[in-house]
Homo-oligomer: A and B are copies of this chain.
Amino acid sequence: MTETRVPIPTLERLAIYLRVLLDAHEAGIQTLSSQEIEQHSGISAAQFRKDLSYFGEFGKPGVGYSVPGLIQCIERILRLDEEQPILLVGAGNIGSALVGYPNFQAHRLRIAAVFDNNFVKIGRPFGDLVIQDIARIKEVNAEIGARLGIIAVPAHAAQEVADLLVEAGVTGILNFAPTILRVPKHVHVRNVSFLQELAVLSYHATEDALCVNGQATRGGKDGV
């Protein structure tokens, strides 16, 4: 284990391994080999071992990995070993789906507060929470101390919300708005774009490669 920076894909897979391990744990399985993890995760055994090697040595040669042990380790790595409060901004459809999302709990992720700028919504209940005024976000997070925030507002408001989240002390933002966010260097952003995902699928869904080369260039005329 050399002191390299951990690749993002590795971190993403870590969350997958964790899910597999939690399932196995629930099923009462005590030990799993990298081979078996491959079967359950679809990720190659070699990849799994390499991923873990960034963080240390967690298995026993000839045996495999202790399920409860590895769960603990991965949770520690991902900082999911203690409750991780999250600020949600945007009490619309997506926000609603998120507060109702049942799987957060198992990973100790908890939406600790919801904000919106719509005066009609402020004060109304939202899941177990009450919608608060976005203007008070900094003040509220002084209590909560959340480092994670979710942006579930329309694109045109997203940058402003991002600025507020950063000011409130958030260093990780999950962004559902289809916009590029400008944030300070120490803040991490991950974008979730349904459109992007569907666009990629749309491309693949039709296999005939209808190339549009020459035409395309000519199409440019109307713009110049």
Chain A interface residues toward B at CB < 8 A: 1, 6, 8, 11-12, 14-16, 18-19, 30-31, 40-42, 55-60, 63, 65-70, 72-73, 76-80, 84, 86, 92-94, 96-98, 100-104, 107, 109, 147-148, 154-155, 171-174, 178, 180, 186, 188, 190, 192-207, 210-214, 216-217, 219-224
6 contacts between A and B (CB under 8 A): A55-B216, A67-B223, A78-B202, A79-B202, A84-B202, A188-B200
Picked from B78, B148, B202, the residue with its CB within 8 Å of the CB of A172 is B202
Chain B residue with the shortest CB-CB distance to A174 = B197
Q: A109 is contacted by which of B92, B97, B198 (Cβ under 8 Å)? A: B198
- Whole-angstrom distance between the alpha carbons of A178 and B63 in the complex? 28
**Nearest chain B CB to A182's CB is how many angstroms away?**
8
**Residues of B contacting A97 with CB < 8 Å?**
93-94, 96-97
Contacts of A66 in B (CB 8 A): 219-224
CB neighbours (8 Å) of A19 from chain B are 178, 195
Nearest Cβ in chain B — how far from A57, in angstroms? 5
Shortest beta-carbon distance from A13 to chain B in Å: 9
Among residues of B, the one whose C-beta sits closest to the C-beta of A95 is B97
Number of copies: 2
Which of B30, B72, B213 interacts with A1 by CB under 8 Å?
Answer: B213
B174 near A86: Cβ-Cβ < 8 Å: no
Known A96-B93, A173-B201; judge A223-B31 contact (CB<8 A): yes
Interface pairs A-B: 7 shortest CB-CB: A66-B223, A56-B213, A172-B201, A66-B220, A69-B220, A15-B199, A93-B97
Residue of B31, B103, B180 touching A41 (CB-CB under 8 A)? B180
| Contact residues in B for A221 (Cβ distance below 8 Å) | 66, 69
Contacts known (A212-B56, A224-B66); A197 close to B205, Cβ less than 8 A: no
B210 pairs with A76, CB closer than 8 A: yes
Bound: A73/B213 CA distance, A: 9
